[in-house]
Amino acid sequence: MQVAAYISLVVAALCWGGNAVAGKLALGHVSPMTLTFLRWFLATALIAAVSVPQLKRDWPIVRKNLPLLFFYGVVGYTLFNAMLYSAVQYTTVINVAIEQAGIPMLIFLLNFVFFRTGVPTAQVVGFAMTLVGVALTAAHGDLRTLLQLGLNRGDGLMLIAVAAYSVYTIFLRWKPPLDWRTLMAVPALGATLTAVPLLIWEGSQGAIQLPDNSGWLIAFYTAIFASLLAQILYIKGVEAIGANRAGLFINLVPVFGTLLSVALLGEHLQAFHIVALALALGGIAIAEKGRPQTAVSTAPASPMD
């Protein structure tokens, strides 16, 4: 069970690492809010096409939990991706990828503040290492800029995205017992609907860029891999080993994002990037090794398929 959860979370991290690169590749081919809308519109259409029987069967539960399911879509899908695709206009994919490693630390803090979820000392050390790595990246290697509030605009937008996805992960503990296809389709529909106001806003700014051929390829990648596949695998991982431990695997996003950005975008690694990556990997290793032998899941134990 745990090996399957680990594999699921690693593949999800790989897809998300590719998502940051896709956002950068989209520049000049499709605008950020247009990409956000297309991503979830396509994802909704694809999952609905194979989920009609499950959606009909699950409708009584969906109806009772519609606000929560739409909340998943608004915060975890629309807000996170709108901020990410906007952030890569102002900062590097490497920065965006590494800053996502702050999600586990924030998940831990929210779990502790609201649910008093206990965490072993080793996990605290791992979280702290991750936080330092994120701060180093956001400050572009000079922590003094944090004291001077001199963050790049893109890094600031990405930190909003980090907060959004952390809240989404915490709220997964209340997900209703639905088929995984329904659990994807309804929040994806919520994400599509809530992306419309962002699309209108982008149009009012005269910034809409409809996708060209490359833009459509990017949109389909984000819909299939970074949306459907990654979200399903992440939800399964949270269900199997809990939000705190599953969140740690997001630390692999900077590794995949960095490798892909160097290979596909020609971005340059700097010394502080390497230090931040080492802190992220060290954090996940220490925290996972120091976990209790019998871990209590922070997600409901309901079957998804």
Whether the Cβ atoms of residue 62 and residue 182 lie closer than 8 Å to each other: yes
Question: Could you tell me if residue 300 is inside a domain?
Answer: no
- Give the highest mean pLDDT range of 104-108, 188-192, 230-234: 188-192
pLDDT tens for residues 108-131?
788 878 877 766 777 778 777 777
pLDDT tens for residues 55-70?
999 999 999 999 999 9
Q: Please give the tally of structural domains in the chain.
A: 1
Share of the chain above pLDDT 90, in %: 33
- Residue 286 and residue 278: Cα distance in Å, rounded? 12
Question: Could you tell me if residue 296 is inside a domain?
Answer: no
pLDDT tens for residues 4-26?
888 999 899 889 889 888 988 99
Of residues 267 and 24, which shows the higher confidence score? 24
**pLDDT value at position 16?**
82
- Give the structural domain span for 263: 2-289
Dihedral of CA atoms 222, 226, 231, 232 in degrees, nearest 10, equals 90
- Residue 123 and residue 290: Cα distance in Å, rounded? 6
Question: Could you tell me if residue 303 is inside a domain?
Answer: no
Residues contacting residue 73 through CB under 8 Å, at least 6 positions apart: 40, 186, 187, 188, 189, 190, 191, 192, 193, 194
pLDDT at 280 over 50: yes
**pLDDT value at position 164?**
92
Question: Could you tell me if residue 304 is inside a domain?
Answer: no
Question: Could you tell me if residue 273 is inside a domain?
Answer: yes
| DSSP letter assigned to residue 30 | S
- The type of residue at 181 is R
